[in-house]
Every structure is written in structure tokens, then in C-alpha cells.
């Protein structure tokens, strides 16, 4: 797999732009491999990107909605067409499987089309009239939006910000994640070609680059997906000039099985919901609650499924679980694993190693189920963001719900049971932005219409759906007195 490192630059005015020092990006599945040398945008480069977006804004805002949406739809097609060219390099930078990346790009294209559709149905002004006056509430573009994207599903998460922003008439500066910049940049480059120069700009870099972007006076709004700590910093910075923010942050999403859960359905869906992307996604199932009577059967079936996992480099044939994306997260998970094992629980590892010779060269760990665990254990009460899943046995559903709601995270959640009315009643008691019933993610209808986001410390604002589009415009209310 050895090849010359890619030189990755920024995208400003629809052209590759150098700026700032370069750092090495290594393959998390084989740290001997330098995948790219990535420029890190300094303040001057960030300023160029923001000014480009700011200069492009008036023209783009005044471009008719139908044309904005037509360009978005054509750009969505380009994403799909470009997918095969980037899924391997995405695997090498993020550790995610090529099939996962391909599905991600397809879903990102659907997100773009959904947002174009929502814009066409929801940007019309609301008008009211009586004998004395008229009221018109217009939805107006806000300017330059900073979109700060994480590494775990960069294309989907970027398109959740870029496509509604553009549909409304804003322009964007995307900051990629330091450990997954290549595939996204290549896709955005192809995507951006459908728009006037400056409508989409991309800067590479870490926290300093993000900070320069958030602090820039010409940025009107910051949309961030990532961790709570960074969000806190962004919000404090944004406070200085009262920028709008929206945050999609972590979760500690519970899967609650009810006594009538259908295990044939639930087991594969929960396993996928917990271990896809090696557990590295925001609304992954982070903990499972199972009634005592169902527990032995559930654990046996989940363990059997776990044993079929093949862990290794994402470009090795047959691999179903890739490495952890980065050293910080890997070290955290290793530490967590030690603490969990030392705490007297039952730690059930499963699966096989696809590349034993690579094992110590990458951020690999065997996926695991943890049983006989206390509901207040660290593994249950924190977001692990990795392939270690606790299964908590319960006798009292009310206590489970109280304990879930006592936490400060509230992104997703799932409820599993064949009586849908009873499952809905349970769902409605959970403090979360999203609850899935009998699955661990959104249906196609849900992708299009569910506002995606969390309550409490899992975020501010929503993405996707007409509600998510609404984060990208300001209201201008006009009141004419006759």
C-alpha cells in the first residue's frame, strides 16, 4: 500500500491554495504509512478563505432559489460519481471501511437533495393580512457560515451543514478534521465546481485554525459537530461578537429492550448500531438495557454475532471492524478497557484479527461486550465512542428511565418492543433529541424529516429536516400599516 504522501491544500475561490505549515497524516490502520502532508491553515489563510466566502455572498444570496437548488442537485450527483475515487483514501485516513464510506457518500448526496427540496418548500415568506396591516416574515440568508466537521463521518456531517447553508443563500468555509481531511476535500472540490468561486471554501487544520475561523468577524454563524469541550470553547469565543452557534455533540445513547422485544430483529440492528465504524459515531448505541428474563438469550446472541467480527485494516478483504481513528481516542479506550476489566465485570471480547502482522502498527482493539456491570459504572454513564458495549440487566423500567434522564447527555436513544404503542410511551419519557423504535438509526423518511440533534449537553439546535434548514436563515419580519 506504500505510496507517495498526498500533498493536501486548502480550497479557496475554487482553487487549491497553500498556506501554513504541513503536518503528516498517518494511516490509523498502519502507522508506518504517511498518507498525506496536510497544510494547516494559519490566521492569514483562514482570513483569505473567509473573505472569499464573504465576497461571494451577495451574488449567491441573490441567485434565484430554483437555480441554487438545481446546482445543489447536480452537485449531489457529482458526489455519487466521485465516490469510488475516494473511498480507499478515506479508509486510509479515517480507518473506516470502504463500504461504509461508499454508503456515507450516497447518504450525503441524499442529504443534499433533501435540503434542496426543503428549501423549495420552506423559504417562502409567511404572509398575514387584516384590515389594518400586513405582516410578511421573510427568511433571509445570514452570510458566511463556518462549518466545522469531525473525522468520524466527515462527508455526511459536512453536507448536513453545507447543503442547507447553500440552499438558503449563504456561503461557507468548511474546516475539515485533522484525521480525515482528504476524502472530504476532494469531494468538496468536485462539489464546489458547481457553484461560483468562493461559495464553498475549505481550510485544513486543527484547533488553532478552528479558533481563527470562529473568531473571524465576517463569520456570521458557526455550525459544529464534535465534542463538548471544543463546543464550549467555540461558544465562549462566539459570545464575543454574539455569533449564532449550532452544535451536534456526543451522546450516551441507550438501547432499551422491552420484554416483548423481537431478538431476531433487535440483535443484528443493535450490533450494527453499536459496532459500525468501530462504535465511533455520535448516535451509536452506547449502552444496552435488557429485562432480566431476556438477558441470557440476548447476551448469547450478541456474543455469537460479535464472534463473527473480523478486525483489521479497512482495505483488507473481509474486514468488518476497522481501527480506532486516532491516538487520543485509542489511548482513552485502552485506559477505559483496563479500568473496566479491573472492576469485576464480565468482559467478553469477540472476533478475529485479519492482519496479525499489522496489529501493533495500528490502533486496533477487539470489540467487546461487558456484562454483569453496575448501572453507575463509568462505562455506562460516559460516552465511550469505541467498540466496548455495556449490557445492563434491569428489573425496573422506571429506574432505568430515571437513571438515563439523570445524565447530562441526550442525543439519540432506541426502544425495542413489538407493541409499538407501549414502545412509543417509553420513548416519550426519554430526555433525548431522537428516539428510534426497533432500529438504531433513521429510516429513509427519518433521514429526510427528522430534526437531528440532541438536548442538554448533546447540542444546541438541529440539523436535517426543515427545522435544520431553519438554523441557516434569519427572520426579517415586515409590518406594513395601511
Partner 1 sequence: MSDIPTLRNFVAGQWLGEAAPFEVRDPGHRDTILAHVVPADAALVDQAVSAAVKAQKLWACVPVAERAAAVLAAADRIEAEADKGLDGLVREVVLETGMLPGEITLEFRGAAFAARDNVEAAQVALEPEVIEDESSIVRIERRPIGVVAAIVPWNAPIVLMIRKFAPALVAGCALVVKTPPTAPIGITKLLAGLAELFPAGVINVVHGFGEVGAALSAHPLVRLVSFTGGGVAARAIMATAADTMKNVQFELGGNDAAIVLDDFDIETQIPMLMAGAFHRSGQFCFAIKRLYVPDAIYDRVFDAMAAYLDAQKIGHPLDPATTFGPINNKAQFDFLQGLIARSRAAGAELIELGTPVDPAQWETGNYMKPVLVRDAAPGLEAVTCEQFGPVLPVLRYHDLDAVVAQANRTEYGLGSSIWTRDEGRGKALARRLEAGMTFINKNAQSRLGRRHMPFGGIKQSGIGTENAEYGLYEFTEIHAINIHKA
Cα 201 off chain centre by: 20
Under the binding rule (CB under 8 A), the answer on residue 474 touching partner 1 is yes
Query: How far apart are CB 142 and partner 1 at their closest, in Å?
Result: 7
Residue 388 Cα distances to 233, 237, 240, 283, 447, angstroms:
29, 34, 40, 15, 27
Half-sphere exposure for 230 (CA within 13 Å, toward CB) = 22
Query: How far apart are CB 233 and partner 1 at their closest, in Å?
Result: 8
Q: What is the DSSP code (8-state) at residue 347?
A: E
- CA separation for the pair 42, 21 (Å, rounded): 8
The three grid cell numbers given for residue 267, joined into one nine-digit string: 440483535
Which is closer to partner 1, CB of 397 or CB of 437?
437
Which is closer to partner 1, CB of 345 or CB of 455?
455
- CA separation for the pair 224, 147 (Å, rounded): 6
Which is closer to partner 1, CB of 224 or CB of 330?
224
Under the binding rule (CB under 8 A), the answer on residue 481 touching partner 1 is yes
Binding mask 395-424 for partner 1 (x = CB under 8 A): -------------x-----------x--xx
Which is closer to partner 1, CB of 70 or CB of 239?
239
When binding is defined by CB under 8 A, the residue of 462, 463, 469, 472 that contacts partner 1 is: 462
Query: How far apart are CB 63 and partner 1 at their closest, in Å?
Result: 16
Is 129 a residue of the active site?
Answer: no
What are phi and psi for residue 53, nearest 5 degrees? -65, -40
Query: How far apart are CB 306 and partner 1 at their closest, in Å?
Result: 23
Host H or E run for residue 302: helix 295-306
Is 282 a residue of the active site?
Answer: yes
- CA separation for the pair 458, 259 (Å, rounded): 29
**Which of 69, 104, 282, 361 is flagged as catalytic?**
282
Under the binding rule (CB under 8 A), the answer on residue 149 touching partner 1 is no
Binding mask 218-237 for partner 1 (x = CB under 8 A): --x-------x--xxxxxx-
> DSSP letters along 106-168, please?
HHHHHHHHHHHHHHHHH-SPEEEE-SSEEEEEEEEE-SEEEEE--SSSHHHHHHHHHHHHHHH
Is 463 a residue of the active site?
Answer: yes
> DSSP letters along 16-54, please?
EE--S-EEEEEETTEEEEEEEEEE---HHHHHHHHHHHH
- CA separation for the pair 187, 104 (Å, rounded): 12
When binding is defined by CB under 8 A, the residue of 42, 138, 372, 378 that contacts partner 1 is: 138
Query: How far apart are CB 425 and partner 1 at their closest, in Å?
Result: 11
Contact assessment for residue 251 and residue 282, using Cβ atoms and an 8 Å cutoff: yes
What are phi and psi for residue 321, nearest 5 degrees? -130, 120
Under the binding rule (CB under 8 A), the answer on residue 361 touching partner 1 is no
Residues from 234 through 263 that contact partner 1 (CB under 8 A): 234-236, 238-242, 244, 247, 249
Which is closer to partner 1, CB of 133 or CB of 308?
133
**Which of 104, 248, 383, 471 is flagged as catalytic?**
248
Stretch that binds partner 1, among 51-59, 152-160, 331-339, 459-467 (CB under 8 A): 459-467
Which is closer to partner 1, CB of 224 or CB of 394?
224
- CA separation for the pair 151, 295 (Å, rounded): 34
Query: How far apart are CB 335 and partner 1 at their closest, in Å?
Result: 25
Which is closer to partner 1, CB of 250 or CB of 367?
250
Q: CA 77, 80, 81, 86: dihedral to nearest 10 degrees?
A: 140
Under the binding rule (CB under 8 A), the answer on residue 186 touching partner 1 is no
Stretch that binds partner 1, among 81-89, 98-106, 322-330, 458-466 (CB under 8 A): 458-466
Q: Across the strands, what pairs with 370?
A: 347, 390
Binding mask 107-136 for partner 1 (x = CB under 8 A): -------------------x-xxx-xxxxx
Which is closer to partner 1, CB of 234 or CB of 295?
234
Number of residues that bind partner 1 (CB under 8 A): 72
> DSSP letters along 371-394, please?
ES--TTSHHHHS---SSEEEEEEE
Q: CA 47, 52, 57, 59: dihedral to nearest 10 degrees?
A: 160
Under the binding rule (CB under 8 A), the answer on residue 325 touching partner 1 is no
Q: How many residues does the chain have?
A: 482
Query: How far apart are CB 220 and partner 1 at their closest, in Å?
Result: 8
Query: How far apart are CB 401 and partner 1 at their closest, in Å?
Result: 13
Query: How far apart are CB 71 and partner 1 at their closest, in Å?
Result: 23
Under the binding rule (CB under 8 A), the answer on residue 193 touching partner 1 is no
Which is closer to partner 1, CB of 81 or CB of 240?
240
Residues 6+ apart with CB under 8 A from 25: 8, 34, 35, 36, 37, 38, 93, 178, 179, 181, 182
**Which of 161, 175, 286, 361 is flagged as catalytic?**
161
Binding mask 435-454 for partner 1 (x = CB under 8 A): xxxxx--xxxxx--xxxxx-
Q: Which residues are part of the catalytic machinery?
A: 161, 248, 282, 463
Amino acid at each position: 500500500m506504500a505510496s507517495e504522501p498526498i500533498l493536501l491544500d486548502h480550497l479557496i475561490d475554487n482553487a487549491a491554495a497553500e498556506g501554513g505549515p504541513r503536518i503528516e497524516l498517518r494511516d490509523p490502520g498502519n502507522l508506518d504509512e504517511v498518507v498525506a502532508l496536510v497544510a494547516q491553515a494559519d490566521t492569514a489563510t483562514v482570513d483569505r478563505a473567509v473573505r472569499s466566502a464573504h465576497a461571494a455572498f451577495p451574488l449567491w444570496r441573490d441567485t434565484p432559489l430554483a437555480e441554487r437548488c438545481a446546482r445543489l442537485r447536480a452537485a449531489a450527483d457529482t458526489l455519487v460519481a466521485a465516490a469510488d475515487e475516494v473511498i480507499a483514501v478515506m479508509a486510509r485516513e479515517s480507518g473506516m471501511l470502504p463500504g461504509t464510506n461508499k454508503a456515507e457518500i450516497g447518504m450525503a448526496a441524499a442529504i443534499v437533495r433533501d435540503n434542496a427540496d426543503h428549501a423549495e418548500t420552506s423559504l417562502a415568506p409567511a404572509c398575514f393580512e387584516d384590515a389594518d396591516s400586513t405582516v410578511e416574515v421573510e427568511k433571509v440568508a445570514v452570510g458566511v457560515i463556518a462549518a466545522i466537521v469531525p473525522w468520524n463521518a466527515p462527508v455526511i456531517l459536512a453536507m448536513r451543514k453545507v447543503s442547507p447553508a447553500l440552499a438558503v443563500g449563504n456561503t461557507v468555509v468548511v474546516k475539515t478534521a485533522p484525521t480525515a481531511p482528504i476524502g472530504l476535500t476532494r469531494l468538496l472540490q468536485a462539489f464546489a465546481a458547481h457553484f461560483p468561486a468562493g461559495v464553498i471554501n475549505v481550510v485544513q487544520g486543527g484547533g488553532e485554525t478552528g479558533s481563527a475561523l470562529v473568531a473571524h468577524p465576517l463569520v456570521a454563524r458557526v455550525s459544529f459537530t464534535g465534542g463538548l469541550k471544543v463546543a464550549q470553547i467555540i461558544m465562549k469565543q462566539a459570545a464575543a461578537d454574539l455569533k449564532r452557534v449550532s452544535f451536534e455533540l456526543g451522546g450516551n445513547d441507550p438501547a432499551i429492550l422491552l420484554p416483548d422485544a423481537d431478538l431476531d430483529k433487535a440483535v443484528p440492528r443493535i450490533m450494527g448500531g453499536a459496532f459500525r465504524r468501530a462504535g465511533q459515531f455520535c448516535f451509536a448505541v452506547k449502552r444496552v438495557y435488557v429485562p432480566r428474563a431476556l438477558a441470557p438469550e440476548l447476551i448469547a446472541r450478541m456474543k455469537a454475532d460479535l464472534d463473527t467480527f473480523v478486525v483489521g485494516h479497512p482495505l483488507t478483504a473481509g474486514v468488518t471492524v476497522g481501527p480506532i481513528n486516532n491516538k487520543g481516542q485509542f489511548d482513552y479506550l485502552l485506559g477505559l478497557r483496563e479500568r473496566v476489566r479491573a472492576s469485576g465485570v464480565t468482559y467478553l471480547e469477540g472476533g478475529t484479527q485479519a492482519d496479525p502482522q499489522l496489529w501493533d502498527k495500528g490502533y486496533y482493539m477487539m470489540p467487546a461486550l461487558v456484562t454483569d456491570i453496575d448501572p453507575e459504572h463509568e462505562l455506562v454513564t460516559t460516552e465511550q465512542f469505541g467498540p466496548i458495549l455495556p449490557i445492563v440487566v434491569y428489573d425496573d423500567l422506571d429506574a432505568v428511565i430515571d437513571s438515563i434522564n439523570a445524565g447530562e447527555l441526550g442525543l439519540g436513544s432506541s426502544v425495542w418492543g413489538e407493541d409499538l404503542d407501549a414502545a412509543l410511551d417509553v420513548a416519550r419519557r426519554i430526555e433525548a433529541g431522537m428516539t428510534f423504535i426497533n432500529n438504531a438509526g433513521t429510516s429513509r423518511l427519518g433521514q429526510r424529516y427528522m430534526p437531528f440533534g440532541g438536548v442538554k449537553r448533546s447540542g444546541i439546535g438541529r440539523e436535517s429536516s426543515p427545522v435544520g434548514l431553519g438554523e441557516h436563515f434569519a427572520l426579517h419580519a415586515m409590518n406594513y400599516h395601511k
